Amino acid sequence: MRILDPRVHLPGDGTPLATLVDLCRARAAAEPRRRVFRHRSPDAALTLAEFDTRARALAVRLLDVVPAGSRALLGFAPGLDFAVALAGCLYAGVVAVPVPPLGGPGARVESVVRSARPGVLLSTERELAEPQGEASWGDLVPIAVDALDHERADRWQRPDTGPDSVAYLQYSSGSTGEPKGVTLTHANVLHNLAMIHQATARPADAEGEPRPPSVLWLPQHYNMGLIGSVLEPLYSGHDVVTMAASAFVRSPYTWLRTLSDVGRVDTCAPNFALDLCTRRITSAQLATLDLSGVEMLLIGGEPVRAATLDRFHETFAGAGLRRDALVPAYGLAESTVLVTAGQIGQGPVLLRVDRTALTAGVARPVEPAAGGRLLVSSGSVPAATTVVPVDAVTGRPCDDGRVGEIHVAGPSVGLGYWNAESDVFDAVVPDHPGRRFLRTGDLGFRYDGELFVTGRAKDVIIIAGANHYPHDIEATVERAHPAVRERGVCALGVDDGERERLVVLVEVVPESAADPAELVQAVRRAVHVAHGLQAHGVELLAAGALPYTVNGKLRRADCLRGHLAGALPRWAP
């Protein structure tokens, strides 16, 4: 039986927190008029008193429809209503199930519905009135959270929930297959919030300065977006400004301009977002930015690349961005969100290793003159968490510098996948008796107290006994020819019945005049020079052919299926 430690306290006044309801209520009681939640386009704000009142009103309405313990689907366009819906579920003892906005692709949402079996659909009046295409919500009772009578809030009674009660289900993005719902308790989330607060400590804390506002564009149904836009601001006691991910993708300048306007500020983003900024920003836009107030840019959600950090800092150093504000991190929904993070003020920790040795699973440091591969640390491991790379053959913990599958144990690790059998959460690691470990599916190693993540175990391409990481090959191909579309490459290991062969799917820049044969040759040459590999297949695709999740991850399983079926749209020169 698991025993979760409920002894989490609110930073600042030390209020004991046993559930997320305690967290929301404590903040609302302490600063009711504070406008913690703000959203851009359209500009809107929500005070803590309004947040609490609306959440209580929603909780009463929910319990008029379904009993406590039921699931509620949360499908919202970016905005403030998502925060109210999440808190309303917590206040009712109803399990929240965040999903993409209702107007998005229906198939994956329907798979979540089949798994979670919700009884209620929460959204806004406008979104519920819009046709949902092929999506089918069955017998779900729709509730528009922005059209409730707030007077019903007076009928609210505190739910019978405790630390081990389920708070919400965090479904995966579906980047590697069918979405799975991680079951997270109040204790899981509170422990992780305390970890995040400690991991993002800075000298100003000791001087009594409050944490700065944060600016966030990540989708709110995604683990980093959910925690960052609702729960972490409540725990750490700072304001948050949210914006739509689509606004960032259309114009990365919008995000940077908001950071500049806020001044002293924190933010977070995946690696691809930094690349997008360096490619899309114009000199005229750059001249308008002042990023000297950025105290932390937490970078996670996908492998963090040294070259990306260098380019981003070089591009924006003139606007005042400090390199020590860049904080690489590692986490996953199965452990709520955060596992490790670098230190604010330290700057990214880098390690250069021998490429050939790394393919054999050994991180052997080399001097810069030797070339090698430059890896970025995801930070040191917090005291309350155990992180162990495990050898796939022996099942034993790896020595420092040896690559293995990363296993994680600690109070932030969820209970398991909802309504699905899985041994992912119940791994046993020698030398750690009685501990329950999460098998993350990620590969990495520990070195000098730091955790280095090298890739996904299931994505690794094994050729001639050597391991090759697809995101390394993809980065090489992106630089191979001007006609290769940015973030338009997928490297796959395809078993032809005799051996695994490398296939590279390449989106071509629209209206490119490149010669197809020359483009294929450039890709093959670049892969051979950088990785010593032969690309047996190079498939030229139309722009936008590769499927991505809403938070920017390649849906590799769909890429492979599309390639094998010949269903990916080809480039027509």
What would the pLDDT profile of 66-118 be if each residue is shown by its tens digit? 999 999 999 999 999 999 999 999 999 999 999 999 877 655 788 899 999 99
Other CB atoms within 10 Å distance of the CB of residue 422: 11
pLDDT of residue 177: 57
Q: Among the three residues 297, 315, 343, which one is the final residue of a domain in this structure?
A: 343
pLDDT of residue 2: 40
In the chain, what percentage of residues exceed pLDDT 70? 96
Are 377 and 424 within one domain? yes
- CATH label of the domain that carries residue 503: 3.30.300.30
The three-state DSSP-derived secondary structure of 47-91 is CHHHHHHHHHHHHHHHHHHCCCCCEEEEECCCCCHHHHHHHHHHH
* Residue 460: band (very low, low, confident or very high) from pLDDT cuts 50, 70, 90: confident
**Structurally, how many domains does the chain consist of?**
4
3-state secondary structure of 370: helix
Give dist(CA 350, CA 374) in Å, integer. Answer: 7
The strand pairing partners of 462, in sequence order, are: 467
How far is C-alpha 216 from the geometric centre of its chain's CA atoms?
12
In the chain, what percentage of residues exceed pLDDT 90? 80
Q: Would you say 186 and 20 are in contact if contact means Cβ atoms under 8 Å apart?
A: yes
pLDDT of residue 106: 58
Are 338 and 357 within one domain? no
Q: Among the three residues 328, 343, 358, which one is the final residue of a domain in this structure?
A: 343
Closest by CA position to 85, among listed 26, 143, 152: 143
> 389 — phi, psi (to 5°)?
-70, 135
Closest by CA position to 477, among listed 433, 515, 424, 531: 531
- 521 found inside a domain: yes
Are 136 and 235 within one domain? no
The strand pairing partners of 377, in sequence order, are: 452
Amino acid letter, 430 = P
| Owner of token pair 């492998």 | 303
| Owner of token pair 């009685």 | 434
- CATH label of the domain that carries residue 337: 3.40.50.980
- CATH label of the domain that carries residue 444: 2.30.38.10
pLDDT of residue 134: 52
pLDDT of residue 72: 98
Closest by CA position to 156, among listed 275, 61, 48: 61
- CATH label of the domain that carries residue 18: 3.40.50.12780
Q: Would you say 563 and 503 are in contact if contact means Cβ atoms under 8 Å apart?
A: yes
3-state secondary structure of 339: strand
Is the pLDDT at 3 greater than 50? The verdict is no
Task: Give, rounded to a whole angstrom, the gap between the first and last alpha carbons of the chain.
Answer: 61
Are 263 and 299 within one domain? yes
| pLDDT tens digits for range 537-546 | 999 999 999 9
Q: Does 355 or 553 have the greater pLDDT score?
A: 355
- 427 found inside a domain: yes
Are 436 and 469 within one domain? no
| pLDDT tens digits for range 9-35 | 999 889 999 999 999 999 999 999 999
CA neighbours closer than 13 Å in the CB half-sphere of residue 71: 21
3-state secondary structure of 193: helix
Is the pLDDT at 1 greater than 50? The verdict is no
Tokens of 422: 């899985």
- 571 found inside a domain: no
Cα angle for residues 310, 314, 318 (degrees, 5° grid): 155
- 111 found inside a domain: yes
Amino acid letter, 106 = G
Give dist(CA 109, CA 99) in Å, integer. Answer: 6
Amino acid letter, 165 = S
Are 550 and 507 within one domain? yes
- 423 found inside a domain: yes
pLDDT of residue 70: 98
Is the pLDDT at 137 greater than 80? The verdict is no
pLDDT of residue 80: 97
Are 125 and 23 within one domain? yes
Mean pLDDT, range 428-455, rounded to an integer: 95
Give dist(CA 267, CA 295) in Å, integer. Answer: 8
- 60 found inside a domain: yes
- 3 found inside a domain: no
The strand pairing partners of 46, in sequence order, are: 37
- 83 found inside a domain: yes
Give dist(CA 411, CA 14) in Å, integer. Answer: 20
Are 225 and 113 within one domain? no
* DSSP-assigned letters across all residues of 80-129: SHHHHHHHHHHHHTPEEEEES-TTS-HHHHHHHHHHH--SEEEE-HHHHH
Q: Does 137 or 415 have the greater pLDDT score?
A: 415
Closest by CA position to 281, among listed 291, 294, 270: 291
Q: Among the three residues 438, 459, 480, which one is the final residue of a domain in this structure?
A: 459
Other CB atoms within 10 Å distance of the CB of residue 300: 26
pLDDT of residue 573: 86
* Residue 462: band (very low, low, confident or very high) from pLDDT cuts 50, 70, 90: confident
Domain that holds residue 265: 200-343
Tokens of 89: 């579920």
Closest by CA position to 57, among listed 184, 124, 145: 145
| pLDDT tens digits for range 391-405 | 988 999 999 999 999
Average pLDDT over the chain, rounded to an integer: 93
Helices marked H in 176-231: 186-199, 203-206, 223-226
Give dist(CA 17, CA 25) in Å, integer. Answer: 10
Are 148 and 208 within one domain? no
Are 18 and 167 within one domain? yes
pLDDT of residue 4: 43
Are 26 and 129 within one domain? yes
Other CB atoms within 10 Å distance of the CB of residue 99: 24
pLDDT of residue 459: 85
| pLDDT tens digits for range 181-190 | 999 999 999 9
Are 154 and 14 within one domain? yes
pTM of the predicted model, to two decimals? 0.89
